[in-house]
Structure 1
Amino acid sequence: MTARELISTVPILQPSDAGTKALRLMNEYHLTQLPMVVDNKYVALVEEDQIMDLEEPEQLLESLQYNGASRTAIQEGAHLFEALKLFHEFKLCALPVVTKENEYLGIITKDNLLAALAQYNGAKEAGGILALEMDPRDYSLSEIARIAESNDVILLSVNTITDPSGKLEVLLKTNRQELHSLVATYERFNYTIKYIYSEEQEEDLVKKNYDLLMNYISM
């Protein structure tokens, strides 16, 4: 999924706009950043904090100073993971999308980005989550997938992260709620199970708490 596919349309700002107008639009669209565009060319992201620091809210936006971070943008053909990196690196709530000629196309909002990531990670699909822990040198996606397939389990997504100790956590989103047989197979192949989560487990916990409450009431 490319940056262009994630575009939202929001109002743009111009240097001749007053700070009060920018604040009103930010409040209306629930954003703390809006793009400044001149002659269809992207100039910078205007920050709410910048406007609040003005001596007079009616001052024009042309009086603001912009650094490198505030000129952050993403090319229309970039992958959404690049957008995610920029959102994190520059603490953005909106990311302008531009052409190679710096023509402004629109912005990516956090909501759009999260929705796209949910699709990629299978978050919207029903199924349990299983986390394995291992040394990075022991990681073999082909073997992990083969073991899942041998248990008639489809891996909807696979994500990895290295913790501060250097251990690799491999997060598996599956298409199955019942994961006991899969867990047993991974353990048979000497994989360490860090944690398991499924809606089935959550329902069991709710039922257990309900039964405890009923027993307490009947005492």
Structure 2
Amino acid sequence: MLSVDIMANSNIKVSMTNTVGEAMDLLNNHKIRHIPLLKSKAFMGIIDETTLKNTTPSTIMRELVNKGEKKFVNDTDHILEAAKVMVDNELSIVPVLAQDQSYLGLIKVEDLFNEIVSKFGLNTEGSLLIIEMQQQDFQLSELIRILELENVHLFSVLVSLNYLPLIEITLKTDIKDINSILQTLERYSYKVKAYFENDQYSHQLKDRYESLMSYLNV
């Protein structure tokens, strides 16, 4: 799951000699809000849509170098690092650079979303469980043991640290009828904060994807 594996066309870029109008055409054609600016193969920064809109279309891109953000991932970085860079900087794309720092291509947010959903099994049949507990009480091995006793298989485990000292553990499982495992977890004093059975979860995932696509097309 490396960044280079989901990298889009390396032609999605502008050079120092392109115009702002040409850069805006690329944004519109590829439905993105940011564009990498290059000097030959050297990555100079990301120029955002607002900057372009506030600049005369005939302006040469080299005049915007100082307004670019040097945000990127290396080709050997995990896709979750790309997700972090996107979220932290509110980007619609993240450039991918080789080890010599030359530009290779970029990752679009919708491609990253699709890859994460696929790689973490979020689009497989089954259910989601969200467990809330104290951070110091979390032992993944114990959770796995309990689930295995109920013949439940885990596709992925995601841990949220947004509410420390409490943590939220999201489990993607293969079970369709969630009632038995709910009773088992309660018997072991686990607090199930929320759960989503297969049809309900699939519907919510579809809604979130459509909302994301709608946002990107604005």
After TM superposition, is the score higher than 0.5? yes
Partner of 2:161: 162
Number of residue pairs matched?
201
Structure 1, unmatched stretches of 5+, are 203-219
Structure 1 runs of 4+ aligned residues shifted over 4 Å read none
Report if aligned partners of 1:178, 1:200 keep a CA contact under 8 Å in 2. no
Partner of 2:104: 105
Q: From the superposition, tell whether residues 199 and 100 of structure 1 become closer, same or farther in structure 2 (CA, over 3 Å).
A: closer
Distance (whole Å) between structure 2 residues aligned to residue 144 and residue 165 of structure 1: 20
The residue identity in structure 2 corresponding to 1:4 is: V
Report if aligned partners of 1:42, 1:102 keep a CA contact under 8 Å in 2. yes
Report if aligned partners of 1:120, 1:157 keep a CA contact under 8 Å in 2. no
Partner of 2:19: 18
Partner of 1:147: 146
Report if aligned partners of 2:133, 2:166 keep a CA contact under 8 Å in 1. yes
Q: Deviation string for 1:74-126 (max 9, x for gaps)?
A: 11101111111100111111111111211111001101111111123211101
The alpha carbon displacement at 1:163 in A equals 4.1
Alignment of 1:172-187 (within 5 A): 172-187=171-186
Partner of 2:127: 128
The alpha carbon displacement at 1:48 in A equals 1.4
Structure 2, unmatched stretches of 5+, are 202-218
Distance (whole Å) between structure 1 residues aligned to residue 15 and residue 198 of structure 2: 49
Give the structure with higher Rg (CA).
Answer: 1
SS at match of 1:64: helix
The alpha carbon displacement at 1:200 in A equals 5.6
Distance (whole Å) between structure 1 residues aligned to residue 159 and residue 79 of structure 2: 17
Distance (whole Å) between structure 1 residues aligned to residue 136 and residue 125 of structure 2: 31
SS at match of 1:66: helix
Q: From the superposition, tell whether residues 163 and 23 of structure 1 become closer, same or farther in structure 2 (CA, over 3 Å).
A: closer
Percent identity of equivalent pairs: 23
Q: From the superposition, tell whether residues 105 and 160 of structure 1 become closer, same or farther in structure 2 (CA, over 3 Å).
A: same
SS at match of 1:35: strand
Distance (whole Å) between structure 1 residues aligned to residue 83 and residue 12 of structure 2: 22
1:41 matched to 2:52: no
Root-mean-square deviation (Å): 1.8
The residue identity in structure 1 corresponding to 2:123 is: K
Q: Deviation string for 1:156-190 (max 9, x for gaps)?
A: 11111134363111111100111111111111111
